[in-house]
Amino acid sequence: MKKALLIVLLLGFAFGFSQTEVAQIDLSDGALELTEQNVIYDPSYFSIDYPNGDVPSDKGVCTDVVIRAYRKIGIDLQKEVHEDMKANFSVYPKNWGLTFTDKNIDHRRVPNLMTYFKRQGAEKPISDNPEDYASGDVVCWNLGGGTTHIGIVVGKKSEDGNRNLIVHNIGGGQVLADCFFVYTIIGHYRYKP
């Protein structure tokens, strides 16, 4: 993986891509790799290591796709979100009635990731134009009934070629899907520290 990352970086810089653009391409590739892993949807609470903790590799939810893809490019969202929440707890959602952080679950909640990305200056405009979403962007949706969802835009196109596909886990494992505008988009982020 490190050799492939170095090749992508060198090729990206050779073709004039910025460091952020190269990272977005890597994030897309990392997300696509996740679709090769057999994962069942499991929203259970798990006690996990810290930092770099993960739920069992054959389990996960939508946020775990994002967390695992970012880990492939060397970013530990568990640690990043936990540290930011500890320092700024009052600005994070209180949807779960917590009065303190929990390094096992905080990063696995869509509203917390949305808050974190926004606080890092990664928020991008929400648009109905598929061309406004780049490979490696993170998109969040409202599924209705207070349920939120998150996925990663990848460099593969829909059958009609009009929009990029999404890697996400909405119940069928870590899959590649043409679901960009199926749900109401509530967040769009391009995060690379």
Please write the tens of the pLDDT for every residue from 23-69. 567 999 999 999 999 999 999 999 999 999 999 999 999 999 999 99
Residue 90 placed within a domain: yes
Residue 17 placed within a domain: no
Range of the domain at 185: 22-189
Residue 4 placed within a domain: no
Tell me the mean pLDDT in the region 152-178: 97
Counting the structural domains of the chain, the total is: 1
CATH number of residue 169's parent domain: 3.90.1720
Its sign, for the CA torsion 68, 70, 71, 77, is: negative
Between β-strands 175-177 and 59-60, what pairing exists: parallel, antiparallel or unpaired? unpaired
Residue 12 placed within a domain: no
Please state whether the predicted TM-score (pTM) of the whole model is above 0.85.
Answer: yes
Look over the chain and give the mean of its residue pLDDT values, rounded to a whole number. 90
Residue 14 placed within a domain: no
Residue 185 placed within a domain: yes
Residue 148 placed within a domain: yes
DSSP symbols for 114-170: HHHHHHTT-B----S-GGGS-TT-EEEEEEETTEEEEEEEEEEE-TTSSSEEEEE-S
Residue 81 placed within a domain: yes
